[in-house]
Amino acid sequence: MKIVTVVGARPQFIKCAQLSKELRKQAEEILVHTGQHYDYEMSKIFFDELSIPTPDYNLEVGSGSHGIQTGKILMGIEDVLIKEEPDFVLVFGDTNSTLAGALAASKLGIKVAHVEAGLRSYDRTMPEEINRVLTDHLSDLLFAPTKSAVANLKKEGITKGVHNSGDVTVDALEHARSIAMKKSTILDTLDLTSNGYLTLTMHRPANTDDHNRLRTIIGALGKTGYPIVFPAHPRTRNALKDSGLLERMPPNFRIIEPLGYVDLLRLMSEARCIVTDSGGIQKEAFLLGIRCVTLRENTEWTETLVDGRNTLVGANETRILNAINAPYSSKRSKVMPFGKLGAPSRIAKIMASQ
């Protein structure tokens, strides 16, 4: 069996690291990097740190509007698929790379396998929601990470080829965390004390492109009394500059360059709280047992909204501060909805049996 695996963004690199190892025990894998994330801090460092195989193809599409980026990826992947003639195209999550890979495969009559199928925020203003819904309806194998994801697919009439595989992030995080605790010196480098700071990640256009919303979020976090360590995506840094905030950030903010996964994981693991608008980081915070405050009104990871482990606050100052300061009695929970270790092996075996 030949499988073309499509990756292009940080969350996909992380999931690919463990799954590729298992796939290559069962099949021939061709790895395609679309170049959706392309600079070292957002791309190559993940391949280096997590020992991901060197991509067989790099489409180098770079940045652009959703339409331009998706179109470039679609054209590039189509050429690869015509040349390689795979049995399956494997895609992850909900990025433009995900949708383009699924579209290119389906147009050529090639089967599609979707890892992280069935997630729904039910917010069609999010490009990611459009990507994940369309990809699920194009897929032949749907690897759902949770029971609720299976239920979401059933509501939409999708039952064939659905497997509750568990979440590959459980394995990826377990592997990467052991590396992070041994190798990362980020706390010493930044002179941070465990449980004495907050980690912030923010990149969604809903938060960065609306300058009033951005000012509210930054202003609220400036009142927390804790150091805010903020690895800023280049696009977010530009938004801070355009809004006039970059030169007058609250004094407790420490804006740093984007981090590799090992350093970011260590930074999150030792934080008092993680503040984010990222879907993947909500889940990682949950698995790490660190309180998460989410700068959105909805989430595709509804399983994280238990025991006060994740709170949706939008861009409301009062809700942000209340969530950060609320009592948090335990870093661990008996609720573990994302399955046990072994999802990559389970997925690889199912694909090999087709």
Active site residues: 203
The rounded distance, in Å, linking the Cα atoms of 171 and 166 is: 10
Matching residue, tokens 């790099």: 58
The rounded distance, in Å, linking the Cα atoms of 231 and 255 is: 6
Contact 245, 214 (CB under 8 A): yes
Q: CB under 8 Å to 120, separation ≥6 — which residues?
A: 129, 132, 133, 149, 152, 300
- Residue 311 is encoded by which pair of tokens? 């709170």
Long-range Cβ contacts of 16-19 (<8 Å, 24+ apart): 16/52, 16/92, 17/46, 17/50, 17/51, 17/52, 17/172, 17/175, 17/176, 18/168, 18/171, 18/172, 18/175, 18/344, 19/115, 19/168, 19/344, 19/347, 19/348
Encoded amino acid at 176, one letter: A
